[in-house]
């Protein structure tokens, strides 16, 4: 502080209104980013939890390789899928 400021306090520069408005905008934007970040964090946390649960189920209940697996629930493997998978069996 200068001696002039203590002697004549009205000579101090007051903050400009545009600085205050800019500060308010920046604070508002930081809050928006925090909310957005929390949303993304929650999405990834839930996704990771689902994957961990799926992996745990796979470890707890291993599939038997003898029973055929099918998407139609009748135990019949699609002929095209059978041809594509045959080199790997």
Q: How far is CA 67 from CA 18, 77, 83, in A?
A: 72, 11, 17
Q: What digits encode the pLDDT tens for the residues 30-81? A: 999 999 999 999 999 999 999 999 888 888 886 655 555 545 555 666 776 6
Number of other CB atoms surrounding residue 77 within 10 Å: 14
Give the residue ranges of DSSP H helices in the chain. 3-7, 17-60, 79-85
Can you tell me the distance from the alpha carbon of 64 to that of 74, in angstroms, rounded to the nearest whole number?
16
Query: Does residue 11 contact residue 5 with C-beta atoms inside 8 Å?
Result: yes
pTM attached to this predicted model: 0.43
Check whether 24 has a pLDDT greater than 90.
yes
């Amino acid at each position: 502080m200068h001696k002039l400021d203590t002697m004549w306090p009205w000579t101090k520069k007051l903050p400009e209104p545009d600085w205050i408005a800019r500060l308010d905008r920046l604070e508002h934007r930081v809050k928006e980013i925090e909310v957005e970040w929390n949303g993304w964090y929650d999405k990834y946390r839930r996704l990771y939890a689902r994957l961990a649960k799926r992996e745990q189920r796979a470890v707890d209940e291993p599939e038997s390789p003898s029973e055929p697996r099918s998407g139609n629930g009748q135990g019949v493997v699609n002929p095209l899928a059978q041809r594509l998978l045959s080199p790997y069996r």
